[in-house]
Structure 1
């Protein structure tokens, strides 16, 4: 069905706003890893304490996922994301004023709660505005902001760190988040409140057929009775474990294990993250192309995800044992490319694995598993490095987790009844 210019304009506006917000979101998350050495010295923290501090965000983020997902499915993404933007930006700015580990833990926990609606709300936005066959591409682009932020972060934040110190660095990017919150409030509306006429509303809901309505029967607890839900949550643990391992410890790894200067480590960190951005974009594209060729919706996301995790495992293991900084950076770049490709496919999968009324809740359940991975990666890595004096065992462990994640997705995740034996959306 032909969409009106107003509907197309709102889709583009939503995508741009979400990508900008997602980029700022990951600038905020990256600040602690960029300032790792300076913060550790200033606050007199050990590697284990820093690992725990790096994990606090993910723990708070994970605990908030399910209630936030339920609220987004019930009340829509606009208000939840707008409030989250304000909270996380204030928490980020407050981090610039902390004087102890306890205060920093509190600020990081608030940051995690504030950021918890970001990717759940974004996926809900695309579920509201796009039919199933078209969702993986905008979701892939949106998810690419999770790599674009860390790509920009090393250069930008390292310059701020060296010029002004770590405290002003936190404050400035917190102010930037408040500006994004104002833009979101002014420019985005959910379909029911976007001033669309009856014909336009009907056009964007044309993909809601009887099968989807049948699958929507029942409230969100039904998701916990489906093996695919558990497979997605447990498998996503491994996906986010790998991305968070590099997202939190890569600058320090390059300084200590590969003997680069603070400036060089900050700048070279951008190379793997740029590869991660490319992987995230191509993940959504790969899923869309497989779906267009007739592959079932969940399978079109699962196949590249599994391949991505296996490549991530191989490259991470290689980085653990290779000699020299350049080969290690190259292997980590391939690892992050494949891991973020897998991450994009995981987010797109949740948008087609259940009915529209439960998308944010399923995303939340999946992301609880991912958040546990994000919490474990920095904490375990910090503990292993302190115990062994080397990053090699931590990287080999991460490679094993990536392989296990691929196996879980292959065994546990299945096509929902909605799509089994049904024609693909393009052929309806």
Structure 2
């Protein structure tokens, strides 16, 4: 039997351990639950606003609250993963996320919901950083891109389930009580955590944890200093800010944008699931195609598609609108996946958890500002036209940052 995978066998000819696919399924399930929890509020915006007596601007602060905590917690969480291993830390994460769902369901005011969302921001980073850590431990070479792409389909499917099924199927099951719906989602998330515990109890998984525990530990501050001293890492972190600004700002408000275009709640939910469906289809393949020599071209095409998508969503109907949503879905997961691949290759993957944590600490600055900015602009202007113009500009800015990244990569090669 093949040896249990470790970072130390990265450059050996040892065949990959077959249990890697089961571990990847466990990570996929974590990401599905993660995305389900994030996206579950979007279809319920109008109901929550009415129940709590808040407007779009305050709802925007709710939708953008958890990334605020991400900013502070992602980097330390990534370092904790490198130090203690992903098995226990991922279970801790999913338990915190489930608890956040319970708190949302029992909240009776704007402040209580806001605090519940903050709790999610404590647990979420362990999954965002833990998933790349698992892939780096169990997969090698081009298969790392495939692994990242596959677990991002969990992210897509979790969003699909929340956006397309909440109003059409789940709400009727619970007498259209949004609180009971969120409680049911929280129960599902906790069950997913128990499944992860069973999967990661395999002897091969425990062998990996034992190897990690025996490795010499570099002080966390030194790890961050080493990573931030690399110019390419710094530019990727800035790119991450605007990728997550674009993704979170557009994704959280998409059902509401479509309802403003004249759709009812159910139709908006189905149409808003188009990006997640096409993100699901393309996520396993685009990061795998993004080998080092092709990454810049693929990112350029993705950023161009993101810009066009915002224009199609704003001005299009029918087929044109559908094409805009399709392009948004292709871009959504692949942009982040390729950025993480770039960080995964730094220092030979030595500090994947810390690097991923830094990415989400920086990126969630944009993740927090995106929904809040969209909500605030929509409230002040009376429509979503200005926010969509802004998103077009963000995509253009990403193209300029990519040009700078390519220049630095060539200079330092």
Question: For this structure pair, what is the TM-score category when the shorter chain's length is used for normalisation?
Answer: 0.7 to 0.9
Residues in 1 aligned to 2:158 and 2:303: alpha-carbon distance in whole angstroms: 22
Determine if contact 2:299/2:335 at 8 Å carries over to the other structure: yes
Distance 2:65 2:202 in 1: 32
**Equivalent residue runs for 1:29-428 within 5 Å:** 29-158=38-167, 159-164=169-174, 165-188=177-200, 194-195=206-207, 219-256=223-260, 258-287=261-290, 291=291, 297=292, 299-322=293-316, 324-412=317-405, 414-415=408-409, 420=413
Instruction: Indicate the RMSD between aligned Cα atoms, in angstroms.
Output: 2.3
Matches of 1:397 and 1:229 in 2, distance apart? 26
Which 4+ residue blocks in structure 1 deviate beyond 6 angstroms? none
- What is the distance in 1 between the residues matched to 2:203 and 2:367? 33
2:9 corresponds to: none
How big is the shift at 1:352? 1.4
Q: Shift of residue 370 of structure 1?
A: 1.9
Match of 2:214 in 1: none
Per-residue CA distance 1:138-184 (angstroms, 9 max, x = gap) = 11111222222112222322222344221011101111111111111
In the TM superposition, what is the alpha-carbon distance from 1:190 to its structure 2 partner?
Answer: 9.0
Q: Distance in 2 between matches of 1:2 and 1:224?
A: 32
Q: CA deviation at 1:272?
A: 2.1
Separation (CA, whole Å) in 2 of partners of 1:326 and 1:319? 11
User: 1: CA distance between counterparts of 2:327 and 2:142?
Assistant: 28
| Counterpart for residue 209 of structure 1 | none
**Cα pair distance change 1:75/1:50, threshold 3 Å:** same
Provide the secondary structure at the position in 2 that maps to 1:89.
helix
Post-superposition Cα deviations, 1:33-57, rounded to whole Å, max 9, x if no partner, equal: 1111100110011110000111101
8 Å contact from structure 1 (residues 321, 392) kept in 2: no
Q: Distance in 2 between matches of 1:186 and 1:339?
A: 31
Residues 353/174 of structure 1: CA separation in 2 closer, same or farther (3 Å cut): same
Q: Distance in 2 between matches of 1:337 and 1:118?
A: 22
SS at match of 1:116: helix
Query: C-alpha distance in 1, partners of 2:205/2:319?
Result: 52
Q: Describe the shift of the 1:391–1:162 C-alpha distance in structure 2 as closer, same or farther (beyond 3 A).
A: farther
The answer as to whether partners of 1:305 and 1:342 remain within 8 angstroms in 2 is: yes
Structure 1 unmatched ranges of 5 or more? 202-217, 292-296, 421-428
Deviation at 1:326, TM superposition (A): 4.7
SS in 2 for 1:45: coil
1:8 is paired with a residue whose SS is coil
- Distance in 1 (alpha carbons) for counterparts of 2:286 and 2:134: 19
Inter-CA distance 384–307: structure 2 relative to 1 (3 Å threshold): same
The alignment partner of 1:354 has SS state of: helix
Q: Using structure 2 for the length normalisation, give the TM-score.
A: 0.87
Please state how far the C-alpha of 1:336 moved relative to its aligned partner: 2.4
Shift of 1:409: 2.6
User: Paired residue for 2:10?
Assistant: none
